[in-house]
Amino acid sequence: MHQITAAAQAASEHNLSARVGLAGPHDELRELADTFDAMLARLEASFVSQRRFIANASHELRTPLAVMGASVDVVLAKPAPTADELLAMGRDVRTGVDQAEAVVGALLTLARNDHGLTVRDQVDLATATEDALDGVGCGDRAVHADFEPAVTTGDPVLLERLAANLIDNAVRYNVPGGQVWISTRVDDDRAVLEVANTGAVVQPERADDLFKPFQRLHDGTARDGLGLGLAIVASIASVHGGTVTAVPRADGGLLVTVSLPAHL
């Protein structure tokens, strides 16, 4: 009891790493201590997630806010701004607002996934991916689709978002007139979605880093997106009990494979 009390007293918002770590027989006190340790672990993960969200949001929101501030300051510094200058300022502010909203929306998706699934429906990855493909502008990229039924259990909105992010990534990091291959299938007891694309050669050691927030293949520009697309894919796959891997293609581009538990 003294050990449990000491761990409770040591725990705070700024330090949730303390654990009871009670040894001995598996009696009521051991069960209580283990339950307390599990609670502290959950709280620690939640606070880490919140701190990461705040740090990432602060970092990524600086750019659109700086652009909006600079645009407004330039126009306000003029004694009599013209209508064209005011319109240009308005467009800059609108672009900055859109970018800030995209950052916040993506980070909220990541934060919500840390708390697990709240919707568990039967979802066919083939249907979700077809719907996602309809909503993504592929430009001059040639899309080759092979959709076989691949039913899993989870949140249909999140799973369509996962597919949309993969397709958007395959289109964005491609070459003019490039190729995109999309397929769904069931392998044993796994529902599988694969998206591959042509594009620049990716170093194998960089592949796993692409699933971390704000990692981009190139310097951060509007064309390269937010650097959150594959991080959201990994988060959605994880919360559905699945995995995601990226393998560089020998002649450029990536093959990304999402594997989820199939609904049997």
Which segment of 52-61, 67-76, 84-93, 155-164 scores lowest on mean pLDDT? Answer: 52-61
Residue 158, C-beta contacts closer than 8 angstroms, at least 6 positions apart = 109, 113, 117, 236, 239, 240
Distance CA 215, CA 226 (A): 9
Distance CA 257, CA 246 (A): 6
Query: For 96-141, how does the pLDDT look when each residue is reduced to its tens digit (9 = 90+)?
Result: 888 788 777 767 776 777 667 778 899 999 999 999 999 898 999 9
Query: 240 and 154 in contact (C-beta within 8 Å)?
Result: yes
Query: For 18-57, how does the pLDDT look when each residue is reduced to its tens digit (9 = 90+)?
Result: 777 777 778 888 888 888 888 888 888 777 767 776 776 7
Distance CA 255, CA 199 (A): 11
Domains in the chain: boundaries: 1-115, 121-261
Q: Is the pLDDT of residue 216 over 70?
A: no
> What pLDDT does residue 254 have?
93
Split at pLDDT 50, 70, 90, the class of 179 is very high
Short-list 232, 243, 250, CA closest to 107: 232
Q: Look at 211 and 224; give whichever has higher pLDDT.
A: 211
> What pLDDT does residue 207 have?
81
pTM summary value: 0.66
- Joined together, the tokens standing for residue 90 give 């308005």
- For the domain covering 121-261, report its CATH number: 3.30.565.10
Query: 14 and 25 in contact (C-beta within 8 Å)?
Result: no
Q: Which of 8-22, 24-38, 241-255 has the highest mean pLDDT?
A: 241-255
CA dist 203 to 217, 219, 231, 246, 255, Å? 10, 16, 18, 11, 13
Q: Is the pLDDT of residue 219 over 70?
A: no
Q: Is the pLDDT of residue 222 over 50?
A: no
Q: Look at 245 and 12; give whichever has higher pLDDT.
A: 245
DSSP letters, 144-168, are EEEE---EEEE-HHHHHHHHHHHHH
